[in-house]
């Protein structure tokens, strides 16, 4: 904070497409999609229009005991595009709360639907996980720097090693490892399932952990094991949802359906804070009963399912259809991997990870030994500062440089972003 006080802050006043413009009129490419939310670019006419149109009707009315046309229509649309079997939508207003909702729903589900199962109220999750900043989400997260201070406030959970292939905790190599990292997970599910309400995971790619990509088949195995051992699979698609990985939802790469799914970030195309937790008819039914049974899910935020948010989310999904966003991603993903190839030759680039339009570049002090830079060297920060001077905004995760352009990014913009990134990494001293 002290440094921030001394810096000249960058104040963004407007935006257009992939470009942000500050109060001095300087232009920057939005290399983070405004922290992973923007999809179709800033000031997209259809999205702007949707908000204005809804504003002409009403800005907000509560979803507690009432509903609204945009909330109803959006729920319908979400069910249509979500992994098959997800049939019910519970709104909230940000990614963390969508995860909190999933955790609470899972615990209450077991109590009401399977009281004979006993005390299933803990969760399994991966190490290095990030599921948001509220305390329940932090409890199922494991990012030391963000979370360690709050340990006394967190509920206990079970943890498993993530598939971090570049630094395999088992020092094995894919595919000859045969995904041996799943074995300890199976062991935990087998021996502790009577305690476990759910397994919380980001599907396909652990984003805030540093863009850690799960090998093909991993998520499917996890789904099978959760089913076998009677543990709910809770997927956090807050970062991965809405096309970011190359399909509408990351689960769809592995053809699986979770029991609960949290979505937010891209839900409104990056326009408004809105979130939802999707679930199955089976879980929904556990919350039905006579009034005096009090089976209600007691959870409702003031701005839950905000009509402006739902209206722009509907427009967002419409743009996916009218602009064929997903189909048009394929050549961009290919172009991006081509553009990233030369990075292998940079002396401090240890690993390049790409899934769809999500990129993590792990910088290391020593390429041969994979020796990491110490956090205090602020390597990511230095690269981001160099990029900012060249007109690209980034926000690294420690030593991992993240590039996450809007899905609407043009080939030229993509090439420009990657060029700036390359030049910025090159500014690091070679030692």
Which residues in this chain contact ligand PLP in the complex, by CB under 6 A? 94-96, 99, 130-132, 202, 207-208, 236, 238-239, 264-265
Supply the DSSP string of 249-271, one letter for each residue. SGGGGTT---SEEEE-GGGGTTS
Beta strands 358-366 and 371-372, pairing class: antiparallel
The least distance separating ligand PLP from the CB of residue 177, rounded to whole angstroms, comes to 25
Residue 397, φ and ψ in degrees, nearest 5: -110, 90
Query: CA-CA distance, 199 to 22, in Å (whole number)?
Result: 42
The least distance separating ligand PLP from the CB of residue 84, rounded to whole angstroms, comes to 22
Using the minimum distance from each CB to ligand PLP, give the nearer residue, 236 or 259: 236
Q: Produce one character per residue of 139-154: b if its CB has 16 or more CB atoms within 10 Å, e if not.
A: bbbbbeeebeeeeeee
The least distance separating ligand PLP from the CB of residue 137, rounded to whole angstroms, comes to 6
* 118 burial level (CB within 10 Å; 0-12, 13-18, 19+): exposed
Tokens 């592995």, residue?
254
Using the minimum distance from each CB to ligand PLP, give the nearer residue, 354 or 424: 354
Query: CA-CA distance, 142 to 126, in Å (whole number)?
Result: 8
Nearest to 401 by CA among 391, 413, 386, 414: 386
Sign of the C-alpha dihedral computed for residues 376, 380, 381 and 385 taken in this order: positive
Using the minimum distance from each CB to ligand PLP, give the nearer residue, 208 or 428: 208
Using the minimum distance from each CB to ligand PLP, give the nearer residue, 130 or 343: 130
Beta strands 232-236 and 260-263, pairing class: parallel
Using the minimum distance from each CB to ligand PLP, give the nearer residue, 130 or 271: 130
The least distance separating ligand PLP from the CB of residue 372, rounded to whole angstroms, comes to 22
DSSP 8-state assignment for residue 390: T
Using the minimum distance from each CB to ligand PLP, give the nearer residue, 95 or 270: 95
DSSP 8-state assignment for residue 17: B
Query: CA-CA distance, 271 to 325, in Å (whole number)?
Result: 17
- Taking CB atoms, the residue at the shortest distance from ligand PLP is 95
Using the minimum distance from each CB to ligand PLP, give the nearer residue, 77 or 133: 133
The least distance separating ligand PLP from the CB of residue 240, rounded to whole angstroms, comes to 7
Using the minimum distance from each CB to ligand PLP, give the nearer residue, 131 or 382: 131
Which H or E element spans position 76? helix 69-81
The least distance separating ligand PLP from the CB of residue 202, rounded to whole angstroms, comes to 5
The least distance separating ligand PLP from the CB of residue 95, rounded to whole angstroms, comes to 2
Query: CA-CA distance, 153 to 54, in Å (whole number)?
Result: 40
The least distance separating ligand PLP from the CB of residue 191, rounded to whole angstroms, comes to 28
Helix then strand then coil, in percent of the chain rounded to 5, is 40, 20, 40
Using the minimum distance from each CB to ligand PLP, give the nearer residue, 386 or 401: 401
The least distance separating ligand PLP from the CB of residue 199, rounded to whole angstroms, comes to 15
* 3 burial level (CB within 10 Å; 0-12, 13-18, 19+): exposed
The least distance separating ligand PLP from the CB of residue 291, rounded to whole angstroms, comes to 33
Query: CA-CA distance, 361 to 414, in Å (whole number)?
Result: 16
Using the minimum distance from each CB to ligand PLP, give the nearer residue, 264 or 280: 264
Q: In residues, how long is the chain?
A: 431
């Amino acid at each position: 904070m002290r440094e921030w006080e001394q810096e000249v802050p960058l104040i963004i006043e407007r935006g257009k497409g992939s470009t942000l413009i500050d109060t001095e009129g300087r232009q920057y490419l939005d290399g983070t999609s405004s922290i992973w939310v923007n999809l179709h670019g800033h000031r997209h006419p259809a999205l702007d229009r949707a908000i204005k149109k809804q504003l002409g009707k009403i800005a907000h009315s509560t979803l507690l005991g009432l509903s609204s046309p945009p909330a109803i229509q959006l729920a319908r649309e979400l069910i249509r595009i979500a992994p098959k079997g997800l049939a019910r939508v519970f709104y909230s207003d940000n990614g963390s709360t969508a995860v909190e909702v999933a955790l609470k729903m899972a615990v209450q589900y077991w109590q009401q639907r399977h009281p004979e199962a006993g005390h299933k109220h803990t969760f399994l999750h991966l190490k290095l996980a990030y599921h948001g900043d509220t305390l329940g989400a932090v409890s199922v997260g494991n990012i030391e720097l963000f979370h360690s201070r709050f340990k006394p406030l967190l509920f206990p959970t079970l943890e498993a090693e993530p598939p971090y292939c570049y630094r395999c905790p088992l020092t094995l190599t894919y595919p000859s490892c045969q995904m041996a990292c799943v074995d300890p997970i199976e062991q935990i599910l087998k021996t502790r399932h009577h305690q476990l309400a759910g397994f919380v995971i980001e599907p396909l790619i652990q984003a805030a952990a540093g863009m850690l990509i799960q090998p093909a088949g991993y998520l499917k195995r996890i789904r099978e094991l959760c089913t076998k051992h009677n543990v709910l699979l809770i997927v956090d698609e807050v970062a991965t949802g809405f096309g970011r990985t190359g399909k509408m939802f990351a689960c769809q790469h592995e053809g699986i359906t979770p029991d609960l799914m949290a979505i937010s970030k891209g839900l409104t195309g990056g326009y408004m804070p809105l979130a939802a937790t999707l679930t199955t008819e089976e879980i929904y039914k556990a919350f039905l009963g006579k009034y005096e049974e009090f089976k209600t899910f007691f959870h409702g935020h003031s701005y839950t399912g905000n009509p402006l948010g739902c209206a722009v989310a509907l427009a967002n999904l419409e743009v996916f259809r009218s602009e064929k966003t997903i189909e048009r991603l394929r050549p961009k993903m290919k172009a991006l991997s081509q553009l990233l190839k030369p990075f292998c030759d940079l002396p401090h680039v240890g690993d390049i990870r790409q899934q769809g339009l999500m990129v993590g570049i792990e910088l290391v002090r020593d390429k041969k030994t994979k020796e990491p830079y110490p956090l205090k060297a602020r390597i990511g920060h230095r690269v981001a500062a160099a990029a900012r001077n060249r007109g690209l905004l980034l926000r690294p995760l420690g030593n991992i440089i993240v590039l996450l352009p809007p899905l609407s990014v043009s080939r030229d913009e993509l090439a420009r972003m990657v060029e700036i990134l390359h030049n910025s990494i090159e500014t690091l001293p070679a030692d």
